[in-house]
Structure 1
Amino acid sequence: MKNRNLLLTAIVLASLTSCGSYVRIGDLTGISNRNIDNSEQYVLLERDIESVAKSEKDALEQAVDNMTKEHEGEFLRNAKIYVKSNGKKVKVVGDVWGIQKTNVNVITNANAKIELQVGDKVVFNRKGDIIDGRIIGLNSNSVIVEYGKRNKRVELKYDEVTKTEQ
């Protein structure tokens, strides 16, 4: 009797965990539902964003469209794709890239107005060292800076960077 109950419990638990969890099906360098214009300069808009779509067909396309529309982007990079066992629910996690449409005006305590935009050169403090970098993306709360010989990227608050030149 004990073995029977144990076996029944194991079967129920196995079926519950397989239905409720996502299975990772792949990593993609880039994914898009639109044509990419080579004449445009695309920038990182948001990092590690997640979107879930539920559909009878084209759930992956719907998840990618949801992410790009919500963050006003064009395509995803470093995308990880997960799917439920029935294939009708897809989760996509990745970085949204697009065309930077706005400049950001930062007003300091001394009421000095500083305009930051993609391509501006900035410096910031990293572990006690002053690092030179270039802005590659702007968010409402932070700026994304590329620096170093290997083009490392970091997301910093506006008050952590100092504009040096355009």
Structure 2
Amino acid sequence: MKNKNLLLCVIGLTLLTSCGSYVRIGDLTGISNRNIDNSQNYVLLERDVEAIANSEKDALEQAVDNMTKEFEGEFLRNAKIYVKSNGKKVKVIGDVWGIQKTNVNVTTSANANVELKIGDKIVFKRKGDIIDGKIIGLNSDSVIVEFGKRNKKIELKYDDVTKTEQ
């Protein structure tokens, strides 16, 4: 009797964990439901965002569409794709890329009005050193900067960067 109860518990736990967990099915460099125009200057709009879609069909397409629409982007890079064991629920995590639509005006404490836009050169302080970088993305409260020999990317507050030239 104890063996039957133990067996039922193990089967029950296996069923519960298999139904409730996501299985990673792959990593993709890029994913899009639209054609990408190589003449456009695409920029990083948002990093490491997540979308989940429930669907009987095309759940992956729906998840990608949800993410690009939410952040007004065109495609995803560095995408990780997860699927529920029943195949009807898909989770996508990745970086949204698109066309930057606006410039940002920042008012400093000295009441100077500084306009930041994609491609501007800036400096910022990191670990006591002053680092040169280039703006590749703008958010409502932060700027995304590319710097270094390996083109590292970092998100910084507007107060942490200083524009050097265009």
Q: TM-score, normalised by structure 2?
A: 0.98
SS of equivalent residue, structure 2 residue 40 = coil
Q: Is residue 165 of structure 2 the alignment partner of residue 133 of structure 1?
A: no
The runs of 5 or more residues in structure 2 that have no matched partner are: none
User: CA offsets per residue over residues 7-51 of structure 1, 9 Å max, x none?
Assistant: 111110100000001000000000000000010000000000000
Aligned equivalents of 2:54, 2:115: Cα separation in 1: 41
The separation in 1 between residues aligned to 2:110 and 2:133, in whole angstroms, is 25
Root-mean-square deviation (Å): 0.6
1:12 to 2:7 alignment: no
For residues 58-100 of structure 1, the C-alpha deviation after alignment (integer angstroms, 9 at most, x for no partner) is 0000000000000000000000000011111100000000000
Q: Tell me what 1:91 maps to.
A: 91
CA distance in 2, matches of 1:44, 1:91: 20
Show CA shifts across 1:88-139 (max 9, x none): 1100000000000011111112221111000000000010000000000001
List 4+ stretches of structure 1 deviating above 6 A.
Answer: none
Distance 1:80 1:38 in 2: 23
Whole-Å Cα distance in 1 between the matches of residues 91 and 43 of structure 2? 23
How many residue pairs align between the two structures?
166
In structure 2, what is the equivalent of residue 30 of structure 1? 30
Please list every run of 5 or more consecutive structure 1 residues that lacks an aligned counterpart in the other structure.
none
Within 5 Å, give how 1:43-58 maps onto structure 2: 43-58=43-58
Inter-partner Cα distance in structure 2 for 1:110 and 1:133:
24
Q: Which deviates further from its counterpart, 91-100 or 4-13?
A: 4-13
Q: Which amino acid aligns with 1:4?
A: K
TM-score, normalised via structure 1 length? 0.98
- Does 2:149 align with 1:149? yes
